[in-house]
Structure 1
Amino acid sequence: MVNWAQMYDCYSETGRVPELLEVVENEDDAEAWQELGYRLVLEHDLVAPASFVALPRLMRLASDSERARRLAGEILERAAGHHGCDDLLANCAGAIEEFRELLDKHLRTRPTERLAVFRALLAVEEEYHWAAVLGDFTDDFYGVACPHCAAEVTIAIGDCGRYSAIRDWNMGDVHRRDLRPASLDELSGAGRWMYETATRAGEELLASGISHLFGKAGCPGCASVFTIADEYAAFNQPVLR
Structure 2
Amino acid sequence: MVDWTWAQMRDCRFDVDRVPELLERVETRNDPEAWKELGWRLVLEHDVVSPASFAALPRLVRLAPHSAQARGLAGQILERAAGPHGCDDLPANCTGAIAEFREVLDRHLRSRPADYLVSFRALLAVEEQYHWANTLEGFTDGILHVDCPHCGVGVTIAIGCFGCYAQVRDGGEEIRRELRPAVGEQLVGTGRWMHQITVRDGQEVLTGGIAHLFGKAECPCCAGVFNVADEYASANRPVMR
> How far apart are 1:110 and its partner, in Å?
1.1
> Which residue number corresponds to residue 153 of structure 1?
155
> Which residue number corresponds to residue 191 of structure 1?
191
Instruction: Say which SS state the counterpart of residue 153 (structure 1) adopts.
Output: strand
- Greater shift in the superposed pair: 51-60 or 102-111: 102-111
Which whole-Å CA distance do the structure 2 matches of 1:44 and 1:103 have between them? 25
> Which residue number corresponds to residue 226 of structure 1?
226
> How far apart are 1:202 and its partner, in Å?
1.4
Q: 1:166-220, CA deviations, whole angstroms, 9 ceiling, x for partnerless residues?
A: 258x96x921111000012011111111111111111121111101000000111
> Which residue number corresponds to residue 90 of structure 1?
92
Which whole-Å CA distance do the structure 1 matches of 2:27 and 2:119 have between them? 21
> Which residue number corresponds to residue 137 of structure 2?
135
> Which residue number corresponds to residue 115 of structure 1?
117
> How far apart are 1:45 and its partner, in Å?
1.9
Instruction: Report 1:74-89 matches (<5 A).
Output: 74-89=76-91
In the alignment, does 2:5 pair up with 1:6? no
In the alignment, does 2:155 pair up with 1:162? no
Point out where structure 2 has 5 or more consecutive residues left out of the alignment: none
In the alignment, does 2:207 pair up with 1:207? yes
> Which residue number corresponds to residue 175 of structure 2?
175
- Greater shift in the superposed pair: 198-207 or 140-149: 198-207
- With the length of structure 2 as denominator, give the TM-score of the two structures: 0.95
> Which residue number corresponds to residue 104 of structure 1?
106
- From the superposition, tell whether residues 153 and 124 of structure 1 become closer, same or farther in structure 2 (CA, over 3 Å): same
Point out where structure 1 has 5 or more consecutive residues left out of the alignment: none
> How far apart are 1:57 and its partner, in Å?
0.3
> Which residue number corresponds to residue 235 of structure 2?
235
> How far apart are 1:114 and its partner, in Å?
0.7
RMSD (Å) for aligned C-alpha atoms: 1.5
Which letter does structure 2 place at the counterpart of 1:115? L
> How far apart are 1:8 and its partner, in Å?
0.1
> How far apart are 1:118 and its partner, in Å?
0.5
> Which residue number corresponds to residue 43 of structure 2?
41
> How far apart are 1:28 and its partner, in Å?
2.3
Q: 1:37-61, CA deviations, whole angstroms, 9 ceiling, x for partnerless residues?
A: 1010111321100000000000000
Deviant stretches of 4+, over 3 Å: none
Which whole-Å CA distance do the structure 2 matches of 1:30 and 1:176 have between them? 48
- From the superposition, tell whether residues 80 and 216 of structure 1 become closer, same or farther in structure 2 (CA, over 3 Å): same
Which whole-Å CA distance do the structure 2 matches of 1:103 and 1:167 have between them? 42
- Greater shift in the superposed pair: 92-101 or 2-11: 2-11
> Which residue number corresponds to residue 53 of structure 2?
51
**Count of matched residue positions in the alignment of Structure 1 and Structure 2:** 239
- From the superposition, tell whether residues 9 and 158 of structure 1 become closer, same or farther in structure 2 (CA, over 3 Å): same
Contact 1:9/1:48, CA 8 A, preserved across alignment: yes
- Greater shift in the superposed pair: 30-39 or 84-93: 84-93
Q: 1:58-93, CA deviations, whole angstroms, 9 ceiling, x for partnerless residues?
A: 000000000100000000000011223232111110
Which whole-Å CA distance do the structure 1 matches of 2:146 and 2:47 have between them? 22
Which whole-Å CA distance do the structure 1 matches of 2:124 and 2:93 have between them? 20
- Greater shift in the superposed pair: 77-86 or 132-141: 77-86
Q: 1:12-44, CA deviations, whole angstroms, 9 ceiling, x for partnerless residues?
A: 111111111011111222221111010101113
- From the superposition, tell whether residues 69 and 6 of structure 1 become closer, same or farther in structure 2 (CA, over 3 Å): same
Aligned identity (percent) is: 63
Which letter does structure 2 place at the counterpart of 1:61? L
Which whole-Å CA distance do the structure 2 matches of 1:104 and 1:123 have between them? 13
- With the length of structure 1 as denominator, give the TM-score of the two structures: 0.95
